[in-house]
Amino acid sequence: MSLRPPEPTVRDVGEFGLIAAITEGLGPTASVPVSVGDDCAVLAPTGRLAVSTDAMIEDVHFKRVWSSAHDVGRKAVASAMADVEAMGARPLGLVVSASLPKDLPASWARELTAGIRAEAELCGAQLVGGDITSGDKIGIVCTVFGDLEGRTPTLRCGAVPGQVVAYIGNLGMAEAGLTVLRRGFRSPAAVVNAHRVPAPPYGQGIVASEAGAGAMIDCSDGLVADLRHIAEASGVVIALETDALQVAEPQKTVAAAIGGAEPLDFILRGGDDHALLATFAPGRVPAGWTVIGGVAAADGTPGVLVDGRPWDADGGWTHF
């Protein structure tokens, strides 16, 4: 009988050993003339920079029993970089700060890094630095940078009456996946995978900007909640038509399995898919986007109408 030696932990590898593993193969490029290894990275955008940051905390945004380390790394980057897309910027670079328990297997940390780098490559950005510290739970903070390349940023406050509202990406799939995982199941795979690794429609933020989008937002809190953000910032009413929303078969399957819930609720309330929502002049909606409503003047309080009625139900993600 042979006994395997215990798997090395991050304590065994040490801070600088982890940093060396994380940064292996990274170096300068035309848009990142100074990469890892100095006190700061140096970026060389062609236009103004869009900057955002996003945190993921274990047992709040993910659970290790639900997601692999690779999944967590990809999700951390995707959820942050979707904000860059929503401004109409091109993903350029990111820095990642991680808090890791000392007894975390070093292999988990390496897989986390692989996921971060895989998603960065997928969206066209480069990991340029970060920080590592110890903590009781895993925490990951991604700060991301996007190059506007001479374009005007697309803000939440630019919706005007007469425009249409459209989206591209997934809606409500991650929420259906979270519902499944909370009940101890792992299927349908399509919704579970959508929760584990969201799929922002990379490149479509620029497409929307160049099509003259009035307002745009990353759909992270939920469809109605994020449309409300646009409505309130723009001082308008957004009229959402649910007939235009397509409920996927896996969402119907989950709704039926949990006791006949309304599958449309996954779409209206659920966040974490990181689709893009935007407003356009009629006739200027880019290919691949789906029109789901319109923008009207607000006679009173700005907000969202769902099939002509004010939306007063709970829904949408908040932390507190």
38 is in an annotated binding site: no
Q: Which residues contact 121 (CB under 8 A, 6 or more apart)?
A: none
Beta strand pairing call for 139-147 and 90-100: antiparallel
136 is in an annotated binding site: no
273 is in an annotated binding site: no
218 is in an annotated binding site: yes
How far apart CA 177 and CA 170 sit, in angstroms, is 12
131 is in an annotated binding site: yes
Instruction: Judge whether 85 and 276 are in contact, CB under 8 Å.
Output: yes
108 is in an annotated binding site: no
103 is in an annotated binding site: no
187 is in an annotated binding site: no
317 is in an annotated binding site: yes
Tokens encoding 101 = 């328990």
Instruction: Judge whether 84 and 149 are in contact, CB under 8 Å.
Output: no
Residue 197: exposed, middle, or buried by beta-carbon count in 10 A (0-12, 13-18, 19+)? buried
220 is in an annotated binding site: yes
How far apart CA 247 and CA 291 sit, in angstroms, is 15
Residue numbering of the annotated binding site for Mg(2+): 39, 52-54, 83, 131, 218, 221
Residue numbering of the annotated binding site for ATP: 130-131, 156, 220
Residue numbering of the annotated binding site for substrate: 61, 272, 317
Residue numbering of the annotated binding site: 39, 52-54, 61, 83, 130-131, 156, 218, 220-221, 272, 317
